[in-house]
Amino acid sequence: MPSPCPAPSDLTPVSPVTGLAGIGPVTAERLSRLGIERVVDLLRHVPRGYEDRGKWIPIRRAREATPGECVAVRGKVVKRTLRRFGRRGGTLRATLEDGTGRIELLWFHAAYLARDLTVDAELAASGRLSKDRALLHPEFARLEGPEEPAPDRLVGIRPIYPITEGVSQRLLREAILDALERLDDLPDPWPEEVRAGAGVVTFARACRLAHRPRDLSEAERGRERLLFDQLLPIEVAMKRRLLVRKRRRAPRADGRGGGADEFLRRLPFAASPSQRAAIEEAARDLHGSSPMGRMLCGEVGSGKTVVALAAMEEARSLGFQCALLAPTDLLARQHCRTAEALLPGGAEGVVLLSGTLTAGDARRARARLEAGDADLAIGTHALLAERTRFARLGLVVIDEQHRFGVGQREALLAKARTPHRLSLTATPIPRSLALLAFGDSEISRLAPRPDARGEVLTRILPESGRDAFLARIRERLLAGEQAFFVRPRIEGDARGAAGLHAELIQGALSGLDVGLIHGRAPPEERESILGRFQSGELAALVTTTLVEVGIDVPGATILWVEGAEGLGLAQLHQLRGRIARRGQRGYCLVVESGDASEESRRRLEAFVTVDDGMRLAEIDLAIRGPGELLGLRQSGHVGLFAGLGSGAPRRIAHLCERAWQVADLLLEREEDLPGEESCTQDSRSFSRPS
């Protein structure tokens, strides 16, 4: 049984949600999946959008409205039918009449509503008008008679919340309204000067504007403040970490430096202006008194590896050991080959350390690092192992940093006292969002090389056109072009990469040399097949997303992707970056699955029409949230950006800027700060009861 509701004066922001009407232990457990345990958590549950239910109008006018529009009507039920199927299923229809006309109300899978919808009942209902001029799944309320006022909750601007199984929009709305009516006081967690500096309303006003708005402009003002409350603790924690890092002493150099200049002089091609600028920034950091913390952001093909190698050469010339952490064995091995080709000393002093090495090779590599005989380690997660030790580690480079968890990155940094850190990402993000994700880092950006990539035509193919397009690809491969075929999974059924490889060599690409690589294949086999593909010996390569980063095949002009509905836009953009890397015209073909969700289709449509990585990152953020895009992990089911909506990235970018600016005010008042561990929605003003 739910606990009895306390009197209004007994309810506080930190009361458990079971203190609200209609919320018992079962519902409370479901709400906890949304990160809602206390009343204040409920008030901070940011609407993801709003719906205008309009005003009460006669049924005749409602039937003249545009299909898809929300209308609100009232009248008497003159007919009701229920067609049952199964134990609980059924289609419920009711006809409402008000003297100006009749309109049908229709619910699917809602037999349980039948007891409230009896003939001659007076009803108020609001919902969306269908093409057949019926109201689909309207919300309704029974009235005592034609004189009783209809409830306001059925009309006007209504918030739409992120929900979970067993928690309906109506339950959330009614619980939030109950809390707002019963709470006498809603203290603000931030000082007035912070609110004024950020230009946001008080917390109490934000709750009423966001959850009970009179118009959309009010709703957005309230929602902005609730989102600001989520952003500010993160920005404060980031800024505090930045200050702590700047107070630390950089590792002491034993050499004179100059390695970056020597690297650039010997480079067999001219570095771009943005590469040179980034190298100068990194070199300056390495000579500074505080340890470097720098994030290098660059589009596909912008040359981040060259900058990283130059920075490592500068560090080596200062007497430091360097560690380059890569997400895959394939990429780590490619970095080794690139280092051997571009570093002035070639492979001298460079060791590879990955899980695919033999026990003996790994032991010898670790021994050289611990003794100081090797000064550059390139590897995968094997670098994080406790038995991997360095004599004088001074620079840690993390490639594709969003592919590693915070704990993994910290494990490598912990192998030295205060090492310099350079992180690389090819996931392009706006500066303001970079402040949110990497606020404790300086940011360097690389401009795309204007001559690096040719035009890539991207198309979504229906399953029905698959064979015809494969036949056209065969013609291009016979003419000397090369193609990637990607499926995210390896095997297990016909939808895996292994199944696609078998299909192609037995069908559309029979007689052509087609390779197959994936993460489970032995590294020597992967290296051999990839080498044959890069040299042009293989016409096509079937693979998983293993080739997402760091693979350069000069002759590849075609990318064929199946199962793209399970991939993010940033990942698809990375894959598209594998083709047309020498100025050729490229073709990216995405085969649409028949069971793709609406969200997946939105992503794919954006992928087809947008080739700008920055814009795609913003769209991906709006659709999927920052979890995979930025590597942020937030408590609760919904996460940080649950309430964003379609125009979210730019609005949040402005909020990030404001939060970053006012964070200084809070750092001056350390006693008022939430703890760094509370980079969520909590503040000390709303601390959990002991």
Q: 136 lies in which domain range? A: 54-155
Give the separation between CA 420 and CA 678, rounded to whole angstroms. 27
pLDDT of the residue at 451: 59
The residue length of the chain stands at 690
Give the separation between CA 646 and CA 581, rounded to whole angstroms. 32
Same domain, 274 and 421: yes
Same domain, 441 and 478: no
Same domain, 439 and 490: no
3-state secondary structure of 77: strand
Same domain, 315 and 354: yes
pTM above 0.85, yes or no: no
Contacts of 243 (CB under 8 A, 6+ apart): 667
Same domain, 294 and 427: yes
pLDDT of the residue at 36: 94
Same domain, 131 and 89: yes
- Quick one: tokens of 139? 């919300």
Contact indicator for 58, 172 with CB cutoff of 8 Å: no
3-state secondary structure of 556: strand
CATH number of the domain bearing residue 518: 3.40.50.300
Give the separation between CA 316 and CA 399, rounded to whole angstroms. 18
Same domain, 24 and 97: no
- The residue among 67, 113, 118 whose CA lies nearest residue 96 is 118
- The residue among 434, 435, 430 whose CA lies nearest residue 662 is 435
- The residue among 145, 104, 111, 110 whose CA lies nearest residue 127 is 104
Q: Which residue has the tokens 């609001």?
A: 126
3-state secondary structure of 664: helix
Phi, psi of 40 (to 5 degrees): -65, -30
- The residue among 356, 349, 365 whose CA lies nearest residue 329 is 356
Domain presence at residue 63: yes
CATH number of the domain bearing residue 132: 2.40.50.140
Q: What are the angstrom distances between the C-alpha of 626 and each of 341, 569, 614, 619, 666?
A: 37, 12, 14, 11, 25
Give the separation between CA 607 and CA 610, rounded to whole angstroms. 6
Handedness of CA 104, 110, 113, 118 (dihedral sign): positive
Count of the separate structural domains present in the chain: 4
Q: Is 615 exposed, middle or buried (0-12, 13-18, 19+ CB in 10 A)?
A: middle
Give the separation between CA 604 and CA 54, rounded to whole angstroms. 34
Give the separation between CA 555 and CA 210, rounded to whole angstroms. 54
Give the residue ranges of DSSP H helices in 290-414. Answer: 304-317, 329-342, 359-371, 406-413
Contacts of 281 (CB under 8 A, 6+ apart): 294, 442, 444
Give the separation between CA 627 and CA 188, rounded to whole angstroms. 28
Same domain, 520 and 416: no
- The residue among 104, 79, 82 whose CA lies nearest residue 92 is 82
Q: Is 261 exposed, middle or buried (0-12, 13-18, 19+ CB in 10 A)?
A: middle
In the predicted model, residues of the chain with pLDDT beneath 70 are 1-9, 86-89, 401-402, 405-406, 427-440, 449-452, 490-494, 550, 594-598, 614, 618, 620-653, 670-690
Same domain, 355 and 504: no
Same domain, 291 and 437: yes
pLDDT of the residue at 221: 92
Same domain, 508 and 603: yes
Which residue type occupies 39?
Answer: V
Please state whether 536 falls in left (phi above 0), alpha (psi between -120 and 50) or beta: left
pLDDT of the residue at 682: 35
Same domain, 416 and 286: yes
Give the separation between CA 554 and CA 527, rounded to whole angstroms. 16
pLDDT of the residue at 63: 92
Give the separation between CA 454 and CA 533, rounded to whole angstroms. 20
- Quick one: tokens of 618? 């913003």
Handedness of CA 161, 163, 169, 172 (dihedral sign): negative
pLDDT of the residue at 8: 46
Domain presence at residue 460: yes
